[in-house]
Chains A and B, each alone.
Chain A
Amino acid sequence: MADTVATPKAHGHVEHHDVDYLHDGSLLSWLTTVDHKKIGVMYLWSVLFMFFLGGVFALLVRLELFAPGKTIMDAETYNKVFTLHGAIMVFLFIIPSIPAALGNFVLPLMLGAKDVAFPRLNLASFWIYVVGALIAVTAMVTGGVDTGWTFYTPYSTTTDGSVALMTFAAFVLGFSSILTGVNFIATVHKLRAPGMSWFRMPLFIWSMYSTAIIQVLATPVLAITLLLLIMERTFGVGVFDPKLGGDPVLFQHFFWFYSHPAVYIMILPGMAVISEVIPSMSQKTFFGYKATAFSSVAIAIVSFVVWGHHMFTSGQSQLAGAVFSFLTFLVGIPSGIKVFNWITTMYRGSISLQAPMLYALMFLILFGIGGLTGLFLGALSVDIHLHDTYFVVAHFHYVMMGSTAIAFLAGLHYWWPKMFGRTYNETAARISAILVFIGFNTTFLPQFLLGSRGMPRRYYDYLPEFQFLHQVSTVGSWILGLGFLIMAGYLFASLRKKMDAPANPWNARSLEWQIASPPITHNFHETPVVTTEPYDYYRPFEPSVKEHH
């Protein structure tokens, strides 16, 4: 249907019918590829490297906090180190991680498409990411930034350091995110295979689509916020500086209008992955498909009206605080719906406890904790006491790392055989997962206690009564690091093996599992025709792809 009119000359290239995408083209050709799978893999190595970099900064932070006062660095350096940890993790790792690395690879396959809607824009998005990353690294080595990743004014408009460069890096990275969002929305609307109606799409797509909506609508506001910040530093305009009649709270409104939806850019893709791993590794139909699909969209929309819960103590009016607090409780509802649906999906399923499922189970526990503690913080009166304490730090690590990063790992292990055609050592993966789980909780559970007992965040020094919990937390970070070290080991070892992965190691139903591992360049020999519901594990498998292996 798709290429019946083609002549080789009109196409300008010869169809590669049987070569998998990894062996199609030289290594250098990857830099100018428009193949979504190669772009996804390039993103993958980039975000993994950034995770490593941000993780090193984290280990340094925790090492410094092992004892009160100076341990390995002075206070000014400490401010820079935690700022860079946050900025790298947020802008260079978490936000692109699942959408750009896994989503780029999987989304077109799941839809039965040959690529995303705008492949060249996809490549542009990757190179813009690289440019943004280079600018950020430049900012790091030319003086660093000590404002915290939130760049609050008036400190950020008046302090020394490479604030303008770092914010410009975030500005550039924002466009990478926007282009990914544009591509995904257009792809979902226009490139679904015949027979794939909206309610036959896997839930991964619904969540990625909702993420893309946020990326498109919220990120531009970050762009203008950062531009205004740079203008304030350069021209002294005074919009955010009280000495010049400006309003620092206005900066926070601007900043959080993006940054709160941004955290849903982080969690929705995590939920997307979980919605795939759980049904397939429970071999069971998804319970509450439509409720979960609509919940994704609801999260995306409601996420835009809760940002003031980051500002309860900032000086915003009581009325605004009350409104934001009320709306914040609303946004927890669709998340709760999803958690119940995931658990019910597992009920009476045939569960296999391999690495992706281990991470999915970890997600359920850690997101439960992270989400609930978010509600505690959303209660205005409680937040007055907990704001800017370690309670907040613990909360967002449970949702950003314990949930999104864990889901990213679930997806990485789930789709690894599809992406690279190779399996990894399952025993090593399980050991690593357990270490990550233990290490993560050891690091962050004590921080809830630290926070509720009064330990402020971003503080270099602290009272001796907090030392024990800080030490526990630091030891936890070492266990976490060890888990990741082992992970790096077996994943690299996997890449050096010969291709041994079956097309469908998990016996899953979605379209990406009905083609070879790894896929051919054009994904499908013929356009699939979809006639089945997603996750139809209750009946024998009916392939939609004709050359099904």
Chain B
Amino acid sequence: MSAESHVVEHNAEHSFRQHHFIDAEQQFTTSKLGMWLFLATEILMFGGLFVGYGLMQSVYPEAWIAGHHHLDRIMGAINTVFLLCSSFTMVMAVHYASTSQKSKTVVNLLLTLGFAAGFLVIKYFEYSHKFHDGLLPGRYFAYHGGGPSQQAMFFGFYFAMTGLHGVHVLVGMGLIAWILLRTMKGEFSSAYYTPVDLVGLYWHLVDLIWIYLFPLLYLVN
């Protein structure tokens, strides 16, 4: 590597290094540690919904089964595939950012956004179908097809869990778009790609949550 590019790279790294860290390596590993701590909070938060869902299922198994039947497994499976693929393109984006391959990073970030958008489109169809059928939470439950009345509670959980997850998908898309812009501006390289890595971790968590949501909501009978 030429002396000049070494200086350029060093300055690029240095302009992002904050003064209270010894070196870029310490800053990078600390940032990842902090991100994992944040992911732990997300796991506990979503976990609460899973706990409530599971406990109420044990009390009202028939209502839960009836609720399951209203969910479209194919759409759920497609969404699972979308998110898994988006996780793949995301980790590829991190990989290419860490090896200073800017255009491949951009492509993969765009693909990730595409899969995420696809997920939301399917969600939109699912939700509008539910609204149309009156399968709404709590006091708004207006389904006329019979079945146990506690289905209203099932749909309370359904919308809470998929809704909170959907909000996280939206936020994730915003973060990915931000990283995309910064990548196109040339801010990342093998010397510094921490934000890409951190957004990637967040995105994988969104995928992880759906990996559990899908079978528990759509597949259990």
Q: Which of A473-505 contact B (CB under 8 A)?
A: none
Partner of A224, one of B29, B48, B140: B48
User: Could you write out 9 A-B pairs with CB less than 8 Å apart?
Assistant: A114-B20, A178-B38, A181-B37, A220-B45, A224-B49, A225-B48, A236-B140, A239-B153, A246-B153
Q: Which of B17-48 contact A (CB under 8 A)?
A: 18-22, 26, 29-31, 33-34, 37-38, 40-48
The reply to whether B34 and A5 form a contact with Cβ atoms under 8 Å apart is: no
The CA-CA distance from A266 to B153 in the complex, in Å, is 36
The reply to whether A236 and B45 form a contact with Cβ atoms under 8 Å apart is: no
The reply to whether B139 and A221 form a contact with Cβ atoms under 8 Å apart is: no
Contacts of A118 in B (CB 8 A): 31, 34
Contacts of A185 in B (CB 8 A): 33, 37
Query: Contacts A114-B20, A115-B20, A217-B40: A245 and B45 contacting too (C-beta < 8 A)?
Result: no
The CA-CA distance from A116 to B56 in the complex, in Å, is 42
The CA-CA distance from A238 to B63 in the complex, in Å, is 14
Contacts of A236 in B (CB 8 A): 138-140
The reply to whether B153 and A5 form a contact with Cβ atoms under 8 Å apart is: no
A294, CB-defined interface residue at 8 Å: no
Contacts of A237 in B (CB 8 A): 137-138, 152-153, 156-157, 160
Q: Is the interface of B mostly helix, strand, loop or mixed?
A: helix
A186, CB-defined interface residue at 8 Å: yes
The reply to whether A254 and B52 form a contact with Cβ atoms under 8 Å apart is: yes
The CA-CA distance from A456 to B159 in the complex, in Å, is 40
A117, CB-defined interface residue at 8 Å: yes
B2, CB-defined interface residue at 8 Å: no
Q: Which of B131-166 contact A (CB under 8 A)?
A: 137-140, 149-150, 152-153, 156-157, 160, 164
The reply to whether B41 and A178 form a contact with Cβ atoms under 8 Å apart is: yes
The reply to whether B52 and A250 form a contact with Cβ atoms under 8 Å apart is: yes
**Taking beta carbons and an 8 Å cutoff, which residues of A are in contact with B?**
1-3, 5, 10-11, 113-119, 121, 178, 181-183, 185-186, 189-191, 216-221, 223-225, 227-228, 231-232, 235-239, 244-247, 250, 254, 522
The reply to whether B153 and A186 form a contact with Cβ atoms under 8 Å apart is: no
Residue with the greatest number of chain B CB neighbours at <10 A, chosen from A1, A186, A223, A227? A186
Query: Contacts A117-B30, A235-B140: A10 and B14 contacting too (C-beta < 8 A)?
Result: yes
The reply to whether B20 and A247 form a contact with Cβ atoms under 8 Å apart is: no
Q: A278 to chain B: closest CB distance in Å?
A: 30
Contacts of B55 in A (CB 8 A): 247, 250
Contacts of A114 in B (CB 8 A): 19-20
B11, CB-defined interface residue at 8 Å: yes
Q: A223 to chain B: closest CB distance in Å?
A: 5
B60, CB-defined interface residue at 8 Å: yes
Q: A403 to chain B: closest CB distance in Å?
A: 27
Query: Contacts A114-B20, A216-B40: A235 and B33 contacting too (C-beta < 8 A)?
Result: no
B59, CB-defined interface residue at 8 Å: yes
The reply to whether A220 and B41 form a contact with Cβ atoms under 8 Å apart is: yes
The reply to whether B44 and A217 form a contact with Cβ atoms under 8 Å apart is: yes
The CA-CA distance from A232 to B43 in the complex, in Å, is 22
**Taking beta carbons and an 8 Å cutoff, which residues of B are in contact with A?**
10-11, 14-15, 18-22, 26, 29-31, 33-34, 37-38, 40-49, 51-52, 55-56, 59-60, 137-140, 149-150, 152-153, 156-157, 160, 164
Contacts of B137 in A (CB 8 A): 231, 235, 237
B154 to chain A: closest residue by CB = A237
A191 to chain B: closest residue by CB = B20
The reply to whether B44 and A221 form a contact with Cβ atoms under 8 Å apart is: yes
The CA-CA distance from A522 to B19 in the complex, in Å, is 9
The reply to whether A238 and B48 form a contact with Cβ atoms under 8 Å apart is: no
The reply to whether B29 and A221 form a contact with Cβ atoms under 8 Å apart is: no
Residue with the greatest number of chain B CB neighbours at <10 A, chosen from A113, A223, A231, A235? A235
Apart from A115-B19, A225-B48, 6 more pairs, CB < 8 Å: A116-B20, A118-B34, A224-B45, A231-B160, A246-B56, A247-B55
Query: How many A-B contacts at CB < 8 Å in the complex?
Result: 127
A233 to chain B: closest residue by CB = B138
The CA-CA distance from A191 to B137 in the complex, in Å, is 48
The reply to whether A221 and B153 form a contact with Cβ atoms under 8 Å apart is: no
The reply to whether B20 and A113 form a contact with Cβ atoms under 8 Å apart is: yes
A117 to chain B: closest residue by CB = B30
Query: Contacts A10-B11, A220-B44, A238-B138: A186 and B22 contacting too (C-beta < 8 A)?
Result: no
Partner of A186, one of B14, B18, B37, B43: B37
Closest 6 CB pairs of A and B: A237-B156, A236-B139, A224-B48, A220-B45, A236-B138, A237-B138
Query: Contacts A114-B20, A235-B156, A245-B60: A182 and B34 contacting too (C-beta < 8 A)?
Result: yes
The reply to whether B15 and A1 form a contact with Cβ atoms under 8 Å apart is: no
The CA-CA distance from A228 to B138 in the complex, in Å, is 12
The CA-CA distance from A113 to B138 in the complex, in Å, is 52
The reply to whether B52 and A239 form a contact with Cβ atoms under 8 Å apart is: yes
The CA-CA distance from A359 to B191 in the complex, in Å, is 51
Contacts of B18 in A (CB 8 A): 119
The reply to whether B48 and A3 form a contact with Cβ atoms under 8 Å apart is: no
Query: Contacts A11-B19, A224-B49, A239-B56: A117 and B140 contacting too (C-beta < 8 A)?
Result: no
A121 to chain B: closest residue by CB = B34
The CA-CA distance from A496 to B26 in the complex, in Å, is 41
Q: B69 to chain A: closest CB distance in Å?
A: 19
The reply to whether A238 and B153 form a contact with Cβ atoms under 8 Å apart is: yes
The reply to whether A228 and B20 form a contact with Cβ atoms under 8 Å apart is: no
The CA-CA distance from A186 to B41 in the complex, in Å, is 14
Residue with the greatest number of chain B CB neighbours at <10 A, chosen from A178, A191, A245? A245
The reply to whether B37 and A216 form a contact with Cβ atoms under 8 Å apart is: yes
Q: B29 to chain A: closest CB distance in Å?
A: 7
The CA-CA distance from A429 to B160 in the complex, in Å, is 53
Partner of B59, one of A113, A182, A216, A247: A247
Contacts of B152 in A (CB 8 A): 237-238, 244
The reply to whether B30 and A220 form a contact with Cβ atoms under 8 Å apart is: no
Contacts of B52 in A (CB 8 A): 228, 239, 250, 254
Partner of A119, one of B20, B138, B139, B140: B20
Q: A5 to chain B: closest CB distance in Å?
A: 7
Q: B160 to chain A: closest CB distance in Å?
A: 6
The CA-CA distance from A247 to B20 in the complex, in Å, is 50
Residue with the greatest number of chain B CB neighbours at <10 A, chosen from A218, A238, A247? A238
The CA-CA distance from A181 to B156 in the complex, in Å, is 32
A234 to chain B: closest residue by CB = B138
A11 to chain B: closest residue by CB = B19
Q: A230 to chain B: closest CB distance in Å?
A: 11
The CA-CA distance from A250 to B53 in the complex, in Å, is 11
Q: B196 to chain A: closest CB distance in Å?
A: 18
A178 to chain B: closest residue by CB = B41
The reply to whether A221 and B38 form a contact with Cβ atoms under 8 Å apart is: no
The reply to whether B41 and A219 form a contact with Cβ atoms under 8 Å apart is: yes
